[in-house]
Amino acid sequence: MAFYKQTTDLDLGETAIENIFINDFMPMADGTAVKVYLLAFKFSQDKTDRQITNETVAKHLNIPLSDVYRSWDFWEKKGIIRKIDNQTDYDIEFLSLRQLIAKGLYSQKKTASSQTTGRINNLEAGKDPEVRKMFYEIDQVMRRQLVPNERNLVLEWLFTDHIAMDIILAAFKYSVDVKGVKNIKYVASVIRGWTDQGLVTLDLLEDYFEKSQGHYRNYKTIYQVLGYANKPPSAGDKEIMNIWLDDFKLDMDFLTKVLTDASKKTSNINMNYMHKVIENLVKEKCTTLESYEQGQAEASPKKSQAKYKKKNTFHNFDQRTSKYTNEELEKKLGIRK
């Protein structure tokens, strides 16, 4: 297999990106940060008088402006851009990666040049104060020193797989403090799971945990309302509850009230039934606790009237009897002729 570039007579312009960025820095970042860097770099090469701003980048990529700022924070930490303050915001200066190498500000030992027989040399890596600090913090979390094979594995994550130091440290803390597991293979599986989900920066990881932990509490509350307190949420139930929480954006006070009322109306409590109840309310634009309670209050008098009317049906017929005198009544009964 090979890769080829087609030749063409039509020239719409090209943007030259240094291979150092593609080989060393791009694998470190998530897709959004890479897109922001590449598009803004392309804008920096354009010969145009139009004003290019962070808002321009966000609009062009169809992403929130906050993602653009987060991306610049990430690349600034990596040392390949510089923020320059201006009167309203800040400008971005793209640093020459080749010049950084020439000045010794960036060394390819941070990638793979210090590998020996496919592994990073512990002695070489130990000269980096940031790496030493990372290992010290890991040892504190593990409450023991990592053995050489474990240290080599961590260095491979760092320099070969380009996993950020703070993500590696967070994986150790999560494994030991949250899950109670000190096995480095488990730490590796945690890192792999985060990477597969695109959680390659600490900000993304913190956002993920904030959302997932909040959902976990909501799952537990909903299950308690439905009488499943001791049952872990199934994948299917989580999917339905995520629709309520993320797609419909319903708050827990509303859900708790609706599910409590709905559970009293059926002996077969299940998530599909509850989902239909919630969907019908959403279609009727009843999505807040106030609107739901108002609707219930308006419906209550009508139900009471209907129930009273049904209860008194026997008394509402036209009586065909009339009052008789004693003599007429005796004749009717055959007592008197």
Q: pLDDT at position 144, please?
A: 94
Q: How many CA atoms lie within 13 A of 314 on its CB side?
A: 1
CA-wise closest residue to 161 among 126, 130, 192, 131: 192
Q: Picking from 13-17, 163-167, 303-307, which range would have the lowest pLDDT averaged per residue?
A: 303-307
Q: How many CA atoms lie within 13 A of 141 on its CB side?
A: 25
Measured in whole angstroms, how far is the alpha carbon of residue 187 from the centre of its chain? 21
* Cα–Cα distance measured from residue 269 to residue 276, given in angstroms and rounded to the nearest whole number: 12
Each residue's pLDDT tens digit, 212-242: 777 878 888 999 999 887 777 787 888 899 8
The answer to whether 173 and 141 are in contact (CB under 8 A) is: yes
pTM for the structure as a whole: 0.41
Residues 125 and 114 sit within 8 Å (Cβ to Cβ): yes
Torsional sign, CA 241, 246, 250, 256: positive
Instruction: Provide the pLDDT for residue 285.
Output: 92
306-337 pLDDT, tens digit each: 555 555 555 554 554 455 666 665 665 555 55
Q: Could you give the CA distance from residue 17 to residue 139 in angstroms, rounded to a whole number? A: 39
* Mean pLDDT estimate for the chain: 80
DSSP per-residue string spanning 60-77 = HHT--HHHHHHHHHHHHH
- Residue 159 confidence class, pLDDT cut points 50, 70, 90: confident
List the domains of the chain with CATH numbers: 19-102 (1.10.10.10), 120-200 (1.10.10), 207-304 (no CATH)
Digit-coded pLDDT (tens) for 99-142? 776 655 555 444 433 333 334 455 556 667 888 899 999 999 99
Task: Taking the CA atoms of 151, 156, 157 and 159 in sequence, report the sign of the dihedral they define.
Answer: positive
| Among the listed residues 250, 313, 314, 236, the one whose alpha carbon sits nearest the alpha carbon of residue 281 | 250
CB atoms within 10 A of CB 103: 9
Higher pLDDT, 63 or 87: 63
What stretches of 174-324 show up as alpha helix (H) in DSSP? 184-196, 202-225, 235-242, 252-263, 271-283, 289-311
